[in-house]
A and B are shown apart, each in its own frame.
Chain A
Amino acid sequence: MASNGIRDRVAIVGMGCTPFGERWDKSTSDLLVDATTEATTSAGIDLKDIDAFWLGTLFSGQSGLTLSRPLKIDYKPVSRLENFCATGSEAFRNACYAVAAGAYDIAMAIGVEKLKDSGFSGLPSTRSVGDGTAAGMTAPAMFSLLAPAYAKKYGVSDEQLKDVMTRIAWKNHKNGALNPRAQFRKEVPKDTIACSPLVAGALGIFDCSGVSDGSAAAIIVRAEDAHRYTDKPLYVKALSFVAGPGAGPIDPDYDYTTFNEVVASAADAYAQAGIKEPRQELAMAEVHDCFTPTELVLMEDLGFAARGTAWKEVLAGTFDLEGELAVNPDGGLKSFGHPIGASGLRMLFECWLQLRGEAGKRQIASVARGRKLALTHNLGGAPGECVSFVSVVGSERS
């Protein structure tokens, strides 16, 4: 029994991504048509050329009809799936496997979410309450548990930790300011971030990702067919997805300074891709910065920084656009926005642009210097009980 991976067996040959944000003018169907059209145009194919579809959405529709109806897909397989906030990545993973298995020649993975129509602050509720005994925490509250635990374990003062969180938000806003598709396209002064009204624990409004609408899509083909569609395909090096036992909230051994699920999926992905030193080998990483302490902890869980040191690396600018390893060059969930089902594919879209040298003002220099790998990390759930996805894509087939 092993996780063997499908390194270099499939490739992305086209992508699309709508602008994210408060898309009052666009319905779920509109967003799906926009992303699909951009992706097929990018690959130079027609919709009818696609053999099978995987649609990821958490709240915005059920069944394959959510996609087939607006796009008038003629009698093709359309799977609709969800895996919390890693939904988009899960659509991508399943589409890749279908092509690698030889079941289809061309598959599309697409994610969509229409959050703003609900009229609520934050996310709508997902689950029935069952017996009514689960503490009704909001997402920022669940992730805010990371901050005091991390600070206590590594001897970081509350003030220092707030500076670290603020710098992560500041960096992602700075990156997002260079991204025409991002929800928030302007830099935000650190003072404004640090002094924003508290939402949960130490988290202010600016420590939270944007609630938004959007869609993103990828066209996947066999690696050997890739050059029929584009000169610059992205090869899939690794796909790892794990669901944890949900032990954190019931096991006193869990200390809220790590995501065990992320550590496991990263180790699996690095093994599949043959990566030994992610910080030296990757050109960039798109990670799940749903809240600023999440990005901090992820830097350690993904092996970008040693345990207990990520807070210093953040302050030193290691993960800035011009830093040693650019993290969330497109602005991340923080400023690109987080339409749940679309986010995992949005992360891949930035890898697509960066590794192909098409990221414009935010193009990462290390790509020109020869770095050819990019990572996406997408998680769903809460500290102690989550699902985690890690992919590695590359511009060269080894």
Chain B
Amino acid sequence: MRGLLAWGAYVPYARLDRKAIAAALGASAGSGMRAVASYDEDSTSMGVEAARAALRATPVTPEAIYFATADPAYLDKTNATAVHAALDLPASAAAYDMLGSVRSSAGATRAALDARGPALAVVSDIRTGLAGGGDEREGGDAAAAFLLGDGDVVAEPLGHASQSAEFLDRWRVPGESFSRQWEERFGEHVYVPLGESALAEGLKQAGVTTSAVDVLIVAGPHARSNKRVAAAAGVKKEAIADDLVASVGNAGAAHAGVMLAAALDAARPDQVIAVLSLADGADATIWRTTGAVTGRRPAPSVATQVARGASVPYAAFLTWRGFLRREPPRRPDPQPPEAPAAARAESWKYAFTGSRCLACGTRHVPPQRVCVKCHAVDRMRPERLSDVPATIATFTVDRLAYSMSPPVVVAVIDFEGGGRFQCEMTDVDPKSVKIGDRVELTFRRLYTANGIHNYFWKARPSGGK
């Protein structure tokens, strides 16, 4: 049977307290927090983190990736290939982008479901808007990933329905950093019947009554329509899923995915989950969980990620999003990585693959040709370390180095099972770092220079000792 094999979600560590917006701008901004992609994250790096969580839960290797976002890091150049490389997928696995609109993600998930062989849908988004606006306030940054394929599925699709329509509710011209929206009531006028129609058709195809729906997810950029369609659907009141707006914000192209991941995290076997996405039409998919669902919960869960995190000042948020231009340090500008060097180092740079000496067993990070211990030449086998935990051997706080978010914390980390590496830390309070702290790796965009994004891995506290 073809269905869902695994899922994962990523909620970045940084939060913006809506009260901080209100305090800075002197106007009400509601309550709760929104998740914020850090200065070193983008839709690609967040997508990698969500995909890692999904694939850790299954031995299945995807044969295709469909990457969807409304905020791509690159145009012309495919972003899914970076996700593909970071996951260390075989070259034979296809990698495609579905870019630009919130609805892309419904298409990516549908394409992965309809594909042959295991296919990974990765949905990711960074939502922002002009200072003081609703998008800045209500938006959120997050990602989710779903592996679809045949075999021991955690959920089977019972029915699917789409409705498409051409109308103007929300739009953005390429190159602009914020969206525009028509009068809210017009959107509601269009979206509500589209949503009701798709949901009814989906349930009909699934042969499921509204009262049998255990979880109803309604997501889309038009918040008011989401609420109205959910309330009027006729499902049990407790079946209407938390829209996560108070804790994450509306994650645009990633939002239906993050809500579905949260529902699956908590799902029991044999539950009906209806997902309705309202974006330039409506897409409804009705899922029924299987007995495998509780055994394949990814770590960390959406709830765990929502519960951790740290607030960032509003000024930092504006700086990270490019709305506040700050004085750089009196240091040379960062240099972009060189394309041939990055290509040669693909498995190291993207998949964090070191090498282990076949002669004496010493592990090397980055990979070496000559063993540092026994000096054997070219007797190495590759070893991927992106999921290997490490411990801080020593560290420093560099207040002179260039960063979007100074100071830079650099740690020397020793991996379990051997290997040492010197790397930047992220999602960390410089005052709290100690020798002996446990860290894990996270895929980040170190910086962008000359329009080239420099992706690589950083260490972040993993909490354990």
Taking Cβ atoms with an 8 Å cutoff, the residues of A that contact B are 119-122, 124-125, 128-133, 135-138, 140-142, 144-145, 148-149, 152, 198-201, 245, 247, 249-252, 254, 256
**Seed contacts A132-B338, A138-B400; 11 additional CB < 8 Å A-B pairs:** A122-B400, A129-B336, A131-B338, A131-B348, A132-B446, A136-B401, A136-B402, A137-B396, A137-B410, A144-B396, A250-B421
Any A CB within 8 A of the CB of B368: yes
> Chain B residues near A145 (CB, 8 Å)?
394-396, 412
Contact A135 B400 (CB under 8 A): no
Q: Is the CB of A125 within 8 A of B335?
A: yes
Residues of B within 8 A of A119 (CB): 330
Is the CB–CB distance between A136 and B334 below 8 Å? yes
Q: Which of B345, B397, B401 contacts A133 (CB 8 A)?
A: B345
Q: How far is the CA of A201 from the CA of B408 in the complex (A)?
A: 10
Bound-complex Cα distance A254 to B414 (A):
11
B197 touches A (CB below 8 Å) = no
Q: With the chains together, A252 CA to B418 CA distance in Å? A: 7
Pick the contact of B401: A128, A130, A132, A138 (CB < 8 A). A138
Q: 6 closest pairs, A vs B, by CB?
A: A132-B337, A141-B398, A131-B345, A201-B396, A132-B454, A130-B341
How far is it, in angstroms, between the C-alpha of A245 and the C-alpha of B365 when the chains are bound?
Answer: 14
B397 touches A200 (CB 8 A): yes
B418 nearest CB neighbor, chain A only: A252
Contacts A120-B331, A129-B336, A251-B372 given; indicate if A138 touches B418 (C-beta within 8 A). Answer: no
Q: Contact at A247–B372, with CB atoms within 8 Å?
A: yes
- How far apart are the CA atoms of A148 and B397 in the complex, in Å? 12
User: CA A149 – CA B394 in complex, angstroms?
Assistant: 7
21 residue pairs of the A-B complex, CB under 8 angstroms, read A120-B332, A128-B335, A129-B334, A130-B341, A131-B338, A131-B342, A133-B337, A133-B456, A135-B422, A136-B334, A137-B396, A152-B435, A198-B399, A245-B372, A247-B372, A250-B364, A250-B368, A250-B372, A250-B419, A250-B421, A252-B419
Determine which of B349, B424, B435 lies in contact with A135 in the assembled complex, contact meaning CB atoms within 8 Å.
B424
A201 to B344 alpha-carbon distance, docked (Å): 34
Contacts of A131 in B (CB 8 A): 337-338, 341-342, 344-345, 348-349
Most central of B334, B342, B400, B424 by chain A CB within 10 Å: B400
The answer to whether B330 and A136 touch across the interface, beta carbons within 8 angstroms, is no
* Contact of B330 with A121 in the complex, beta carbons under 8 Å: yes
* Interface residue? B420 (CB, 8 A): yes
Asked if B393 is an interface residue, CB under 8 A from chain A, the answer is yes
Contacts between the two chains (Cβ within 8 Å), count: 128
In the complex formed, the residue of A with least CB distance to B401 is A138
CB-CB under 8 A from A149, the residues of chain B are 394
Interchain CA distance A140-B396 in the complex, whole Å: 10
Judge if B361 is at the interface, Cβ distance under 8 Å. no
Q: Give the contact-size bracket for chain B.
A: 35 or more
Asked if B299 is at the interface of the complex by the 8 Å CB criterion, the answer is no
Please indicate the chain B residues that have their CB under 8 angstroms from the CB of A200 in the complex.
Answer: 396-400
Q: B423 an interface residue at 8 Å Cβ cutoff?
A: yes
CB distance from A301 to the nearest CB of B (A): 18
* B363-391 interface bits toward A, Cβ cutoff 8 Å, 1 = contact, 0 = none: 01110100011000000000000000000
Are A121 and B332 in contact, CB atoms less than 8 angstroms apart? no
A174 to B331 alpha-carbon distance, docked (Å):
30
User: Which residues in B have their C-beta under 8 angstroms from that of A256?
Assistant: 393-394, 412
What A residues does B207 contact at CB under 8 A?
none
Q: Does chain A have a CB within 8 A of B151? A: no
A-side contacts of B395, CB under 8 Å:
145, 148
Across-interface contacts of A125 in B (CB, < 8 A): 332, 335
Given A129-B335, A135-B410, A251 contacting B349 (CB threshold 8 A): no
- Across-interface contacts of A124 in B (CB, < 8 A): 332
In the docked arrangement, what's the CA distance between A144 and B418, Å?
24
Contact of B400 among A129, A133, A140 (CB under 8 A): A140
- Provide the B141-166 mask, 1 if CB < 8 A to any CB of A, else 0: 00000000000000000000000000
A142 and B364 alpha carbons, distance in the complex (Å)? 20
A129→B338 contact, CB < 8 A:
yes
Chain A, Cβ-Cβ closest to B434 = A148
> How many angstroms between the C-alpha atoms of A128 and B340 in the bound complex?
13
Q: Does B134 contact A (CB under 8 A)?
A: no
Q: Which of A125, A128, A135 counts the most B-chain CB atoms under 10 A from its CB?
A: A135
CA distance A50 to B424 in the complex (A): 50
Scoring A129, A131, A144, A201 by chain B CB atoms within 10 A of each residue's CB, the highest score goes to A131
Assess whether A199 is in contact with B400, with CB atoms less than 8 Å apart. yes
Does B329 interact with chain A (Cβ within 8 Å)?
yes
For window 392-443 of B, CB contacts with A under 8 Å fall at 393-402, 408, 410, 412, 414, 418-424, 435
Chain A residues with Cβ below 8 Å from B414 are: 252
Give the residues in chain B near A138, CB-CB below 8 Å. 331, 398, 400-401
Chain B residue nearest in CB terms to A201? B396
A247 to B395 alpha-carbon distance, docked (Å): 17
- Chain B residues with Cβ below 8 Å from A144 are 396, 398
Q: Across the interface, which residues of A come within 8 angstroms of B399, CB to CB? A: 198-200
Q: Which of B344-366 contact A (CB under 8 A)?
A: 344-345, 348-349, 364-366
Q: Which residues of A contact B368 (CB under 8 A)?
A: 250
A376–B332 Cα distance when bound, in Å, is 32
Which partner residue on chain A sits nearest B411 by CB separation? A135
Q: Which residues of B contact A120 (CB under 8 A)?
A: 330-332
Contacts of A245 in B (CB 8 A): 372
- A142, B412: Cα distance in complex, Å: 11
Whole-angstrom distance between the alpha carbons of A120 and B423 in the complex?
24
Known: A128-B338, A131-B345. A136 touches B420 (CB 8 A): no
Q: How far is the CA of A350 from the CA of B68 in the complex (A)?
A: 66
- Collect the chain B residues with CB atoms within 8 Å of residue A152's CB: 435
CB-CB under 8 A from A198, the residues of chain B are 397, 399
- Return A219 CB to nearest CB of chain B, in Å: 36
Give B347 Cβ to nearest chain A Cβ, in Å: 11
Question: How many angstroms between the C-alpha atoms of A166 and B394 in the bound complex?
Answer: 22
Residues of B within 8 A of A254 (CB): 420
**A132→B420 contact, CB < 8 A:** no
> Known: A130-B337, A145-B412, A148-B394. Contact between A249 and B345, CB under 8 A?
no
**CA–CA, A129 and B329, complex, Å:** 19
Shortest beta-carbon distance from B77 to chain A in Å: 16
**Nearest CB of A to B130, in Å:** 32
Distance from B442 Cβ to chain A, minimum over Cβ atoms (Å): 14
Contact yes or no, B349 A133, CB < 8 A? yes
Q: A149's closest neighbor in chain B, by CB? A: B394
